[in-house]
Amino acid sequence: MNITNKINNLRKSLGAEIISLYFADKLEIEIDKTPIKRAPKNRSSLRCCTYKDRAMYRYRLLSLMGIDIEKEDDEYRSISSFAKEALQRNQIDHKILTVIDIACASCQQNTYMVTDMCKGCVARPCEENCPKDAIQIINNKSIINQDLCISCGKCEKVCPYNAIIYSPVPCEDKCPVNAISRNPETGKEEIDYDKCIYCGRCTRACPFGTIMERSQILDISKQLKHKKNPVIAMIAPSIIGQFPGTIGQIIYGLKELGFDYVYEVAVGADITAQKEAEEFIEKQKEGQPILGTSCCPAYVESVKKHVKTFEKYISHTKTPMAYTAELAKKEHPESTTLFIGPCIAKKYEGTNDQNVDYVLTFEELSSFFLALKIDLLKLEEAKYDTIDATIEAQRFCINGGVAAAVKYYLNKTTPDIEINPYYINGLDKKGLKQLEIAANGKLPNNLVECMSCEGGCLSGPGVIVSPAVSARKLVKPT
């Protein structure tokens, strides 16, 4: 789907509504009116009827307030009572996603289907090319026997009339680890958290917006409004191009929102790259054939859950977020830290890192700017409260960027060691297989750079702007 679509924009605007009501001290009084205001009586509905629309708004608001819908679906309760509960919470738990079951359209299984465009031709390339003999011609029409079909897609490619189509279940189709599937009893999709790697693709793949993040926007609003301690925003390198104006204006905008300090996570990326280069040399000396990068949390989780043989090859170096948070807590021990990036898996990583208090996506940050009516182009410029990061570290967010930064630091100390990276650009089933091959020592390379999102963090699920637009603003290495 295009990055600009109604579901993505709805999340931003509903998030903004929650934040602005909270800052106006009206959240608990007004929030129950939102579904009705958004889906008034005499307007055409997005779904079957106005009432379903309103129910959907309710659940979307709940997930944006961080409620676990699967667990706490009490229809007797008002949205307001959930808001009250959300505002009392002081901790974030590991379950970062939630499924709105009534939003799920119960899509048919991933299948290839023959449409009415089939002319029952004489050449019959579909029948000829099917490796499983799953295609039969009955009454001059091609028919796929779904029990035999292995969804290889050969018939679709060879049909001269484009009469065969692939009809996916979008969430299942995009999940690289088969963690989401249809519960046969309810007909609704469910996430298996023993398999889920938190890559977040399902959240953006579903055109009904069924899978939602449990957002921390309210927790952060609370920190910003009733401040006891300094609040620090840590900004991922992929911020580039996500908002209008310059980086300086975005930093100024964050300070207008109430953040006391703004840290550049690329500073942490410099530490990651440097330490990973040192670890690389060490492992090479020890005779370890290959080292896997460690900064992408969805890929690290996929290794832990699905390619255990590769786990020992993953670098022990911490992520840029972890080093930046460490620095923030060292410089301001009483502070609350918030990572802002393109990533949903970082929310999970954040729950496991005591230095990271909260995690937001760029999309969620946009809700803050919208709610507090901050027009970035009109602002002055401010600087990061951290030292300057290298261009290499700022390019951590694109495919090839991590390996290049490790190489940069390696060249500084030990130029005689050759680095030969293998890139997994967008983790899919093939990528998982490659990791297995790497673990078996059958790759000629000595470094694996893996990014769960194709194109790197600039294509993360939490971005606002497509990578084709944002990548243009990235500084080129000299």
Per CB under 8 A, the segment of 3-11, 49-57, 92-100, 231-239 that binds other proteins is 3-11
- Restricting to residues 9-38, name those near other proteins by CB under 8 A: 9, 12-13, 16-17
Least distance to other proteins, CB of residue 457, Å: 17
- For other proteins, the binding residue among 93, 282, 375, 388 (CB under 8 A) is 375
Cβ–Cβ < 8 Å for 160, 61: no
- For other proteins, the binding residue among 252, 313, 348, 369 (CB under 8 A) is 369
Q: 16 or 107, CB closer to other proteins?
A: 16
For residue 465, state whether it binds other proteins (rule: CB under 8 A): yes
Residue matched to tokens 């295009």? 2
**Residue 295: which residues within 8 A CB-CB, separation 6 or more?**
269, 272, 319, 320, 396, 402
For residue 308, state whether it binds other proteins (rule: CB under 8 A): no
DSSP states of 311-378: GGGB--PPPHHHHHHHHHHHHSTT-EEEEEES-SHHHHHHHT-TT--EEEEHHHHHHHHHHTT--GGG
**Residue 4: which residues within 8 A CB-CB, separation 6 or more?**
none
For residue 469, state whether it binds other proteins (rule: CB under 8 A): yes
**Residue 380: which residues within 8 A CB-CB, separation 6 or more?**
248, 249, 252
Least distance to other proteins, CB of residue 4, Å: 3
For residue 3, state whether it binds other proteins (rule: CB under 8 A): yes
- For other proteins, the binding residue among 377, 381, 413, 441 (CB under 8 A) is 377
Q: In whole angstroms, what is the distance from residue 443 CA to residue 426 CA?
A: 18
Cβ–Cβ < 8 Å for 262, 337: no
Looking at the DSSP assignment, which residues form a beta bridge with residue 212? 98
Cβ–Cβ < 8 Å for 427, 449: no
Q: In whole angstroms, what is the distance from residue 27 CA to residue 30 CA?
A: 5
- For other proteins, the binding residue among 102, 370, 382, 417 (CB under 8 A) is 370
Per CB under 8 A, the segment of 7-15, 56-64, 190-198, 293-301 that binds other proteins is 7-15
- For other proteins, the binding residue among 143, 376, 417, 443 (CB under 8 A) is 376
For residue 82, give the H/E element and its range: helix 79-88
Q: 92 or 240, CB closer to other proteins?
A: 240
For residue 81, give the H/E element and its range: helix 79-88
For residue 66, state whether it binds other proteins (rule: CB under 8 A): no
Tell me how many residues contact other proteins (CB under 8 A): 26
Question: How crowded is residue 47: how many other Cβ atoms within 10 Å of its Cβ?
Answer: 16
- Restricting to residues 230-269, name those near other proteins by CB under 8 A: 241-244
- For other proteins, the binding residue among 29, 49, 165, 468 (CB under 8 A) is 468
- Restricting to residues 435-464, name those near other proteins by CB under 8 A: 464
Least distance to other proteins, CB of residue 466, Å: 6
Q: 150 or 468, CB closer to other proteins?
A: 468
Binding site for other proteins (CB under 8 A): 2-4, 9, 12-13, 16-17, 241-244, 366, 369-370, 374-378, 464-466, 468-470
